[in-house]
Amino acid sequence: MKAKFDFKKLNLDRGQTRMLVMITAAVAVSVFCLLSAKALWSQAAYHRQVLSAKKEAVKQLKSNLDTIETLKTQYDSFNSANPNAIGGKNVADANAAPPDGENGRIVLNALPAKYDFPALISSVTKIMTINRIGNPGIAGSDQSATISSQPTANPQAVEIPLSLSGLTTYSGAQNLVRDLERSIRPFDITKLQLSGSSASLSVSASVTTYFQPAKILSSGTKEVK
């Protein structure tokens, strides 16, 4: 018995198979193209963000450079064109003793960057000695164990209260107040009591001075996602 082949059906099956293969290949190519396009689009978007961040950084850098020049000009003018801020001589000598000195150095030294209570007491003692305050007394609380002098990004001035007392004359009391006001380090006199005669005067004062931790200036990095 001989088998009979249906060539038309065979040709149709082959045609359908080729079409299925072509459709499958077309779908695979389309999926590949879509995935590639998505990857390229994401990469392009990322590069746009990087370029934008770089442009912003360059713009900020240029602004900083302009600000540096402006600040330098203002600083030089503040030092040379203005009189001494605390009534002394405006001199550039680094060894000049208060109240003499440049305004820039006076301002920079006004608020110490570290809490140093013994140094503060020594400074106040010197002021009282210069004004010949008899039986000088300086009272205050040393907070070295609790107050931090570590630099911060946003430093704030910290108050240090003191109580002063002694014996002097009326003119001596005036000179003491004047020297506290002219000190490079600021002293706020919050209370002043005087008793006795102009030749023998008992002085009692409450004053507040300050220190301010240094400011941290640091550069950072930014992740672009």
Residues 52 and 90 reside in one and the same domain: no
Q: Is 190 helix (H, G, I), strand (E, B) or coil?
A: strand
Residues 134 and 75 reside in one and the same domain: no
The pLDDT confidence band at residue 219, using thresholds 50, 70 and 90, is low
In 57-198 the beta strands, taken as DSSP E runs, fall at 134-139, 158-168, 188-196
Residues 76 and 93 reside in one and the same domain: no
Q: How far apart are CA 204 and CA 63, in angstroms?
A: 52
Residues 72 and 87 reside in one and the same domain: no
Instruction: Check whether 1 has a pLDDT greater than 60.
Output: no
In this predicted structure, what is the pLDDT of residue 29? 77
Residues 69 and 120 reside in one and the same domain: no
Question: Within a domain: residue 52?
Answer: yes
Residues 39 and 103 reside in one and the same domain: no
Instruction: Report the CATH number that the domain containing residue 204 is assigned in CATH.
Output: 3.30.70.60
Question: Domain span at residue 100?
Answer: 83-110
Instruction: Give tens-digit pLDDT for 9-31.
Output: 555 566 667 777 677 777 777 77
Residues 211-218, mean pLDDT to the nearest whole number: 84
Question: Within a domain: residue 224?
Answer: no
The pLDDT confidence band at residue 216, using thresholds 50, 70 and 90, is confident
Number of domains, the chain: 3
Residues 73 and 97 reside in one and the same domain: no
Q: Sign (positive/negative) of CA torsion 88, 93, 94, 97?
A: negative
Question: Within a domain: residue 216?
Answer: no
Instruction: Give tens-digit pLDDT for 167-179.
Output: 999 999 999 999 9
Higher pLDDT, 11 or 42: 42
Question: 207: part of which helix (H) or strand (E)?
Answer: strand 201-211
